[in-house]
Structures are given as C-alpha cells and as structure tokens.
Chain A
Amino acid sequence: MFLGLFFAVLAGLLVGLQNIFNAKVNEQAGTWATTALVLGLGFLASMTLGLVFEGIGLFTMDNMKTWHWFSGLIGVGVVVCLVQGTRLLGPTYAIAIVLTSQLGFALLWDSLGWFGLEKIPFTFQQLVGVLVIAGGVIVFKFSGTKEKKEIKQVQKSMKQYSLGR
C-alpha cells in the first residue's frame, strides 16, 4: 500500500515537471516533433533502466503478444486529442475535462476489471470520492479565470472603442 502510494506520487511529480518541460519544447518545435522526441527519449530511458535492473533478460520477450506492439499508438491518440481539445477550448477548460474524464474512466475500469486487472467493486463511497476530487480539479483550474475574463472584456471594449472612432 505504502509503496504503491509512493510510486504514484513520484509518477505524478515527474509527469508535472515533464509537462512543463515539454510545453517549452512544444512552443518552438511543434506538436509532432516534440511528441517524437519525448517518446524517443522515454524509450531510450526505459531500455537503459530495464537493462540496469534486469540485464539482458530485458530482451526475452517470450510472452509478447501482437497487440502489445500497438498499445504505443494510444499515446498518439492522447496527443491528438489533447492538442485539439486545448486548441478548441483553451488550456484551463480542456485540462479540467481531461482530468475529470481520466478519473471517471479509472473508476469504470476498476469496477469492470477489464484486461485481467483485479476487479475492485464499485461502491457509492468511491463515486463520492471521485466526484469530490473532480470538484477540486474544477475549483483549482477555474480559480484564475476571472482575471482573464476581465482582461478579455477590457480588450473587447478597447477594440470597440478604437473601431468606433
């Protein structure tokens, strides 16, 4: 339990940092070049750490199934949807939906136990927990937007003013 939580926190911290770094690269190099770089480095790092911890055994892939090769394409789906969602909705709104949907799907997955993962029965308590977290995400993400709206309104009225002249 403790180790599970520890690794989840570690993963979350690194994802947060990675997103900040990747956004910087994205500004310059565009979505696809950035995605290729990020996944390429992730591949090299995983292979290196795998070799460190498991040695040559890393390459014994006797139980490899065909569909495993295609699972990496989910990552491409993530990028396309994230980029399009952010472009159409703006980052705050888009990320709030992404995070909420992520939690909803997680709950769905635990309760269905698809893909041979251990089934964790759906309870009302779990639903309340997920809803409170999603509420927190929304409060967190939208707390800064009032200011932006004000700026937009000022811009709008300035535009009208200058057009009116």
Chain B
Amino acid sequence: MRGVIFAFLAGGFITLQGVANSRISQDIGAWQAATVTQLTGFLMALLIVLIVRDGKWKRFKGVRPLYLTGGSFAAVVIYGNIFSIHKIGVTLSIAVILIAQLAITFLVDGRGWFGVMKQKMRLPQFIGIGMMIAGVVILKF
C-alpha cells in the first residue's frame, strides 16, 4: 500500500511540475523557468549528495559518456512541455508525452539499442499503444 501511495504521489508531482513550469513561464519566460527550476532542484540534490556522502558519484567514471548526457535533454523537454500545455492544455499534453515516451521505450527495448536487453514485442503491447492513441483521439475530437 505504501508503494502505491508513493507511485500515486510521483504521478501527481510530475504533473504539478509541468503545471508549475507553465505558470512560472507566464511570469518570466520559458527558458528562464527551465533554468531556475533546475538550478534549485540541482542545489537540493547536491545538498543531499553531500549529506549522504556515500561516495557513489565517483562511479560516474564507469558509465559510458553518452549516458551521462541524458540530463541535458531536459532543456528541450521542459520547453516542449511548457509550450504544449499553453497551446493544447494539460491533459492532452501529458497524454501525448506519455505515448511518445512509451513508444520510444518500446522501440529501444524491441531493437535492443543502447545495450538494453532486447525484448520481444508482443501483441498486447501493440494493443496497449493502440488504446492509448484511441484515448487521445477521444480526448480531442
């Protein structure tokens, strides 16, 4: 049950984050919003790293450099998120983002790219993606 609550809250926080960014961008602009929120988030996470002091960050060296760059995508992600929430609303934005996200994960899993363990694509997964797209169509048209 505790796990369910955590997962439920995580979903709530993710949506809240998009909404808060959109609101902030109305006051100071989208790039400014992305810059400020990530700066404060970074400082907080850094503080926690300093408190925890498990020295695990030293293992960055063992990670393929390409994978270390993932964080930089967030600039475009946040900008896109803010832009689409303003243009098409929170529900449709989140729905489309989820589908694109699951589709790329599905593709990477299916092809075994980036050293991910290759997984067979199954019929239920195609049905799942079909349902999600049908849901977006219902949502909008």
Residue numbers of A with Cβ under 8 A of B are 1, 3-5, 7-22, 24-25, 28-30, 32-33, 35-50, 53-54, 58, 61, 63-65, 68-82, 84-89, 93-95, 97-107, 109-110, 114-118, 120, 125-126, 128-144
Contacts and interface: CB of A to CB of B under 8 A. Distances in A.
A42 B67 contact: no
Helix, strand, loop or mixed for chain A's interface? helix
B121 to A, nearest CB: 9
Interface of B: 2-4, 6-17, 19-24, 26-29, 31-46, 48-49, 52, 54, 56-57, 59-60, 62-64, 66-81, 83-106, 108, 114-116, 119, 122-125, 127-140
A21 B70 CA distance: 6
B68 to A, nearest CB: 6
Given A17-B104, A107-B91, A115 B23 contact: yes
Contacts of A76: 41, 44-45, 48
Contacts of B124: 139-140, 142-143
Given A12-B99, A41-B69, A46-B34, 18 more contacts: A5-B88, A7-B81, A29-B63, A36-B42, A40-B46, A46-B38, A58-B35, A68-B33, A76-B45, A82-B10, A85-B6, A95-B7, A103-B94, A105-B15, A106-B90, A109-B19, A120-B89, A120-B90
B57 to A, nearest CB: 4
A120 B91 contact: yes
Contacts of A44: 72
Given A97-B11, A136-B132, A12 B100 contact: yes
Contacts of B62: 28
Q: Which 7 A-B pairs have the closest CB atoms?
A: A12-B100, A101-B11, A140-B128, A88-B3, A4-B87, A72-B40, A50-B31
A84 B3 contact: yes
A103 B95 contact: yes
Contact of A25 (B7, B22, B70, B102): B70
Given A8-B80, A10-B80, A58-B35, A136 B128 contact: yes
